[in-house]
């Protein structure tokens, strides 16, 4: 056996990347009404999504099931060979089956089909052979065929497993969107590790408090409040009424609009030009919710209030991003 030189190795690696990338891009032409039907079936599933597949397809199936479970779609991987030895008891009539086989004729999977049909479960087949038994017995067929595998023999599951994984990710992501899966939902399933760390913060963990809060009375002059905003460097000030309740905010944007509108601002009080009923948040809300509000309304800082609408802090987008809330 000859020893490959470095340039040949690099060339072969690049070819693998190209073949596998093309296998994914090819999927774009393979999805349409069948994919849409698959999403509807999964969305309306009253039980769990049971993913099954043998060999390399099974390994990919485990990842698909794990991704769905962590993004709001309860899923379970069932090994087709073990299923005929008692494990098939996990299947219920309310479940949806995702069966994976590139050939569509994997014997262990074929042995499981009668049970699936007996329970009347809807089945989504993921296969590279649209004329296979799996394709013909599935309610929906997702085409994961590839032009060729990435290995030199064209036999090892490489490009085909990559395509299968990408199709599974597409299902999971589209289901997330259809279900309205939020960052807070994601936190529930990822409370530990780097993925969830930033999402565990509450507003009270990151907000600015005490003397660092820019708070002014609604009867103060507009020009004095500009000085306060410049001093605190948060791009806003919280405006309170005589009872100390949040009455409004004055932002850099409010200042610009006021100067454009009024040729003389000397006699203006801040309550004449502030934004009333501003966006606000409570201390116990997740920091991710604060970031969502900021993104939605294009603002950089939020007033934090208690149950009496009294300001207790300010949370700024820079502090959220530094803490890894994204």
**CATH number, domain at 75?**
3.40.50.10490
Q: Is residue 1 part of a domain?
A: no
CA–CA dist 164, 229 (Å, integer): 54
Looking at the structure, tell me whether residues 170 and 226 fall in a common domain. Answer: no
CATH number at residue 235: 3.10.580.10
pLDDT tens for residues 267-318? 999 999 999 999 999 999 988 889 889 988 999 999 999 999 999 999 999 8
Q: For residue 74, what are its two tokens?
A: 């309860």
Unique residue bearing structure tokens 């087949």: 125
C-beta separation of 238 from 314 below 8 A = yes
- Let me know whether 169 and 246 are in one domain: no
The predicted pLDDT at position 175 comes to: 92
Same-domain status, 130 and 235 = no
Look-up: residue for tokens 């999977």?
A: 109
For 179-222, write each residue's pLDDT tens digit: 887 666 665 555 555 555 666 789 999 999 999 999 999 999 99
140 and 218 within one domain: no
Domain that holds residue 238: 203-322
Question: Do 136 and 75 fall into the same domain?
Answer: yes
Determine, yes or no, domain membership for 188.
no
Alpha helices (runs of H) in 235-310, residue ranges in sequence order: 252-261, 270-273, 287-297
Q: Please report whether residue 191 resides in a domain.
A: no
Q: Are residues 217 and 166 in the same domain?
A: no
| DSSP-assigned beta bridge partners for residue 123 | 97
Token match 């209030």: residue?
305
Residue 81 lies in a domain: yes
> Structural domain tally of the chain?
2
């Amino acid at each position: 056996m000859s020893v490959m030189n470095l340039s040949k190795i690099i060339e072969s690696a690049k070819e693998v990347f190209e073949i596998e990338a093309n296998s994914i891009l090819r999927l774009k032409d393979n999805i349409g009404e069948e994919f849409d039907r698959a999403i509807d079936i999964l969305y309306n599933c009253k039980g769990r999504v049971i993913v099954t597949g043998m060999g390399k397809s099974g390994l990919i199936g485990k990842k698909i099931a794990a991704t769905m479970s962590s993004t709001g779609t309860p899923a379970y991987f069932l090994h087709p060979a073990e299923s005929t030895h008692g494990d098939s008891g996990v299947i219920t009539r309310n479940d949806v089956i995702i069966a994976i086989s590139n050939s569509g004729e994997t014997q262990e999977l074929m042995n499981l089909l009668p049970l699936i049909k007996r329970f009347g479960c809807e089945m989504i087949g993921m296969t590279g052979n649209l004329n296979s038994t799996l394709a013909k017995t599935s309610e929906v067929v997702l085409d994961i065929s590839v032009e060729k595998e990435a290995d030199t023999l064209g036999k090892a599951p490489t490009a085909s497993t990559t395509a299968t994984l990408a199709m599974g990710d597409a299902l999971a992501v589209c289901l997330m969107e259809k279900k309205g899966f939020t960052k807070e939902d994601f936190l529930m399933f990822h409370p530990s590790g780097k993925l969830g760390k930033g999402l565990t913060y509450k507003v009270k963990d990151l907000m600015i408090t005490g003397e660092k809060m820019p708070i002014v009375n609604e009867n103060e002059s507009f020009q004095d409040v500009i000085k306060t905003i410049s001093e605190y460097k948060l791009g806003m000030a919280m405006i309170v009424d005589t009872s100390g309740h949040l009455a409004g905010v004055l932002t850099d944007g409010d200042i610009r609009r006021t100067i454009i509108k009024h040729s003389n601002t000397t006699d203006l009080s801040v309550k004449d030009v502030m934004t009333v009923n501003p966006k606000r948040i409570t201390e116990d809300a997740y920091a991710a919710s604060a970031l969502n509000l900021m993104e939605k309304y294009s603002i950089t800082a939020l007033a934090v209030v208690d149950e009496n609408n009294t300001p207790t802090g300010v949370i700024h987008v820079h502090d959220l991003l530094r803490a890894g809330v994204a």
